[in-house]
Structure 1
């Protein structure tokens, strides 16, 4: 079967006197209904299925392996809030959980708040953003997306009758915050064109959304709006966030007519997050240093609040080598989540003491995070822990005694034994001399240094998002077949603090690509993989990473999986009508500025496609993706077909029913993973190409 050949329709884009020809621009269809576009995407799907036909049995085997590792029925660790125990529970073999609660005691009769399997009936995609019980415990506000565009509809359920109210709120970000009298809630509306969350409305129960009150509108489209209720539950915070600047407003949660009060006016390159608890405002900010500090002042101390952040009382000092990630406030204790030398640390102290106690972790590479702790009047802290060899675990520590216990560890069905696997943390020296951390895992008895193990390198490297080393049960299907799996913590993430992020964005973006390539070469040199069987994978901004890497080092990798890849960077960043564009200027640059334009063009994968041999490539996307529009990977594949040399595979699979996250559902999501892993395993076995 011959590969599809997209029709070439010349289209010119001129900017800064630079004329670019885009023969495949026509693949962009905002409505996702153009018969010619859908015909092409369907043809690519058919070609992909045909080329991967030899892996059909393997895909099924992998899917069965992955789903068999999941407990047929499962439930989360229950937590207590306002007189009820809450948890999620999966019925045997169901795709979605039930949200349930028990009054006062877990032995009390169970009440089903929402059965997501019923909500998802009749739709190909389903995602629940939030489900919030009203303060009076009688109503449930929940937000759901049945298309994959991340446009959520908010509905209200009467918990006494089980009835869902007639009036819904459409096109929201999914965030819901109740007023304290349970008669109204706040939500964030998304812009109809750009999909940027930009308006805050107050909705009164029983009234149509057309009568909702506009509380706040963000005029700058580079800022996104979010909502949360403070730890004290007395205030509602409107957060306005750009990449490097933020601002907060707050409302009285007890006043149905409350108007937002500006807390501290936005100042370029100053970020802060607002919290309120026990009569104090708490602010996490970079005003005292780029790795953030925590400051606080009494609510009524207007003379302090009016001062610059640099003059506030400091709770957690800024450190040049430690990134403050988060914190949790209790009546008697404060808990700090920070990142040091690439690894997460948790420490805590009593408010009356200065000395912190640390929670110790022993794996060479791991991650930890604060769990749901809704009740501040306790000495029990819940946190989660996972490593490449340790399934996700929920633990509890008594902050008074320091005693720990495991409440739950993700159960891996079958013959899984953590002792069969080995994780390592190594450092690779990049071409400019910077040391890049790498997390590795492999099966002990299948690994031989300088042997013939296939090596899969994964990366992301953008937005300051750290790619942590977490357990993945589906990854066992590769490890059990001899693969070594590596996470390259390249610059652009925040693993080594804010500087690590800044060293991989804007004018430093090339460092992300070079780091990934240099890590791969270092791992090969150290004997972690067969040079002829090296693979790479990344999604979204990590898909951009894949596109940049294969342009720069096309023969280093035998195969690459690019998931929902952001590859048409320059054209997208020039189009302010697209979702997330203007808010991304501080990440990639503003191409309306000549210098930024040239810089983005120099690495934009679509613009840098050239006549050369490329590795085997599987590209996956979703038709309804609102983060990375489907036409970016579609155009990229069409252009690669025009330029690539040799007989390597070039495959595009578009999920016509999903968005950025792929298939929804506890089990269905593994169809996508099985396809990608089968592609890699097939290549690793050196199967002849058809």
Structure 2
């Protein structure tokens, strides 16, 4: 998401292009009538290459007397090694590169802009744990982080919001526990999914993915010497937790990558001797693993989209195995934590759809007490426990809230909580999320961000109410938050529902008269809240006069559980019509025009893109669909594909006639028409376990065959990555730069002859 220019007037200095180094040098003396594109480049732009045409091989699928023809079914290859398929993907990549060759210089400029805003040598806000400060460090020019710690000087004073990690020549030495840069040298892709320090701080377990398929190997190392302890655990998820100092609990997946088994591993033993704690055989359920803040219990949950039940494992009594904490009851969703003599249970049901908070004695889990009752207008999203406090993360009217409650002494009974202390925020739209804190402390740590406020870490004294900023992400290049305006607006959906929209723009560049370009982002699935957070890369759009907005449409979780329920199953089309209504509202309010409105969504948000492109292609100038879930019916009919079975409670089960026809009516691949479409960029990852690369590939192939316009249709498949693109922090910036260059090209905001 980036910006460049408005109303045909560029807000850039005059530039001289140096093709040999792909750099831009300010040169204000060059006359504005000069053409900066070489004749060869101009020729290539006037004679674009022919797009690759996927072979059409008729494949019929019949259900309920309905026959669907998929001419590109052959593009699916589970092994990802079919030469014919790989050749097609490579042709698409080559075509995209050729089509974007004329914008390569602006792409390189944007990349340079984004990277120049990054303080490359930096550390995260140190977290005090035990007798150490833990933090991560980035180094200049390096793609990955170092995981570090530094001893805390001996001090009798309790932790305070004013504590700072000592540095300088007299400070205790820094110790690098793990340097991802060293580990990544042997791999084209490298990602750490978990980094867990043992309770005694002597060991670290970390989960490593070197392919992008989210199948991890877990290593245990000595925290001081970095030497490997025992053999690694292979073929596991990133769910791994310490069970004391001598054991780990982890989760593995079945053949469709569904987390289905929880295991106990004793250090020093072979993985083949590990004991299975629980096997979830229902293929609509997946396992999750969490540790209590007190570190005394591990919680293994089995969850579908509607039901969640929990087992507990007492760390000091591993031999007793798992015990049921909350029973398996269809439609009841529970999550659990622990403090003192009580478990704390967040419980959702059809009756209490926004959750209530309960507590029960550890030795009598059926004797529950209501601590915070259900409220129809406030959603309990998460809780965080401390030895003397409870912190509740809620949502009201689409905005996050953080409230801290003082708890009675451990030996005293728990009663309904009232009079909590709320943390105050300043931006009209923002994000506020939990951050790891010390259980024994009175200091709450949380992260805060807004569309104009860089990610910030605060520490909040729950006794005094004092809040201290511990770290704000540095943004180089003269960034000033006061140059940007954030707003919150409400669009009216077709059924009268009010849809919140978060907006940000550069106040010195935007006219708000309908002539400004805009990028509208949407998601709207899985009850996920897409909160308005800061993005350094996005400044390259905002500083070119492009407005950025997020439509918080139904299917997400921003407005509570019912908001989600009203955007799934047989109400899924509300997600798409809400997005269209948001766009029409923004046009009516003169934030943009349909000639300058671009849209973007990823994954399930890519489904949104595909659906609204088919429904209202006239409303958009350009669309970016990242790893889009667009072949809904075919995928949801195939239980061998990862996520299918567990998502029948999200999209519906098309083996049932009602769901089949409803899903077919919006599935993007099934609804491509012979009509004009806007400019479109589609991305995919060859090793993506969430959205198989063949879905976007088929969508593009069908669009190429049927669309009636000459607008750009570009497809880029990362052949060495998965769902989340490349793994290096600078590598990912290149994708941002390419996407923004595509948008600028679609908006006719690329410098050419006489337009400087």
TM-score bin, normalised by smaller chain: over 0.9
Query: Alignment partner of 1:668: what SS?
Result: helix
Which residue of structure 2 lines up, in the alignment, with residue 360 of structure 1?
Answer: 424
Which residue of structure 2 lines up, in the alignment, with residue 306 of structure 1?
Answer: 366
Of 242, 263, 277 in structure 2, the residue corresponding to residue 178 of structure 1 is: 242
Which residue of structure 1 lines up, in the alignment, with residue 54 of structure 2?
Answer: 6
Shift of 1:367: 1.2
Query: Alignment partner of 1:445: what SS?
Result: coil
Shift of 1:128: 0.4
Q: Deviations over 1:334-355 (max 9, x none)?
A: 2111000000111112225731
Which residue of structure 2 lines up, in the alignment, with residue 80 of structure 1?
Answer: 128
Distance 2:561 2:176 in 1: 43
Which residue of structure 2 lines up, in the alignment, with residue 408 of structure 1?
Answer: 471
Tell me: higher relative CO, structure 1 or 2? Use CA pairs within 8 A at least 6 residues apart: 2
The reply on whether 1:259 has 2:259 as its aligned counterpart is no
Of 56, 65, 83 in structure 2, the residue corresponding to residue 17 of structure 1 is: 65
Distance 2:614 2:746 in 1: 20
Which residue of structure 1 lines up, in the alignment, with residue 206 of structure 2?
Answer: 142
Instruction: Write out aligned runs for 1:46-445 (5 A).
Output: 46-105=94-153, 106=165, 107-165=171-229, 167-180=231-244, 182-191=245-254, 193-287=255-349, 289-300=352-363, 302=364, 305-306=365-366, 312-352=368-408, 354-373=418-437, 375-445=438-508
Contact 1:450 1:530 in 2 (8 A): no
Shift of 1:166: 5.6
Instruction: Write out aligned runs for 1:623-662 (5 A).
Output: 623-662=686-725
Q: Deviations over 1:282-322 (max 9, x none)?
A: 1001146100111002212x2xx235xxxx21111211001
1:83–1:686 CA distance, 2 compared to 1 (3 A): closer
Q: Deviations over 1:76-103 (max 9, x none)?
A: 1111222221111112221111111122
Instruction: Report the more deviating stretch, 13-22 or 290-299.
Output: 13-22
Query: Alignment partner of 1:584: what SS?
Result: helix
Distance 2:234 2:306 in 1: 30
Contact 2:342 2:360 in 1 (8 A): yes
Query: Alignment partner of 1:585: what SS?
Result: helix
TM-score, normalising length from structure 2?
0.88
Which residue of structure 1 lines up, in the alignment, with residue 512 of structure 2?
Answer: 449
Distance 2:736 2:572 in 1: 29
1:517–1:688 CA distance, 2 compared to 1 (3 A): farther
Contact 2:177 2:224 in 1 (8 A): no
Distance 2:215 2:251 in 1: 11
Contact 2:360 2:366 in 1 (8 A): no
Distance 1:162 1:495 in 2: 43
Which residue of structure 1 lines up, in the alignment, with residue 661 of structure 2?
Answer: 598
Alignment RMSD: 1.4
Distance 1:187 1:72 in 2: 34
Shift of 1:38: 0.4
Query: Alignment partner of 1:672: what SS?
Result: helix
Contact 2:51 2:92 in 1 (8 A): yes
Query: Alignment partner of 2:600: what SS?
Result: strand
Distance 2:674 2:234 in 1: 47
Contact 2:178 2:226 in 1 (8 A): no
| Structure whose CA Rg is larger | 2
The reply on whether 1:528 has 2:596 as its aligned counterpart is no
Contact 2:145 2:181 in 1 (8 A): yes
1:183–1:166 CA distance, 2 compared to 1 (3 A): closer
Q: Deviations over 1:533-563 (max 9, x none)?
A: 1100000000000000001001100100000
Instruction: Report the more deviating stretch, 618-627 or 526-535.
Output: 526-535
Shift of 1:138: 2.1
Distance 2:217 2:283 in 1: 22
Q: Any stretches of 5+ residues in structure 2 without a counterpart?
A: 1-48, 154-164, 166-170, 409-416
Shift of 1:565: 0.2
Distance 1:435 1:402 in 2: 34
Query: Alignment partner of 1:532: what SS?
Result: helix
Contact 2:106 2:750 in 1 (8 A): no
Contact 2:125 2:471 in 1 (8 A): yes
Distance 2:395 2:442 in 1: 23
Distance 2:315 2:197 in 1: 15
Shift of 1:165: 4.0
How many correspondences in the alignment? 679
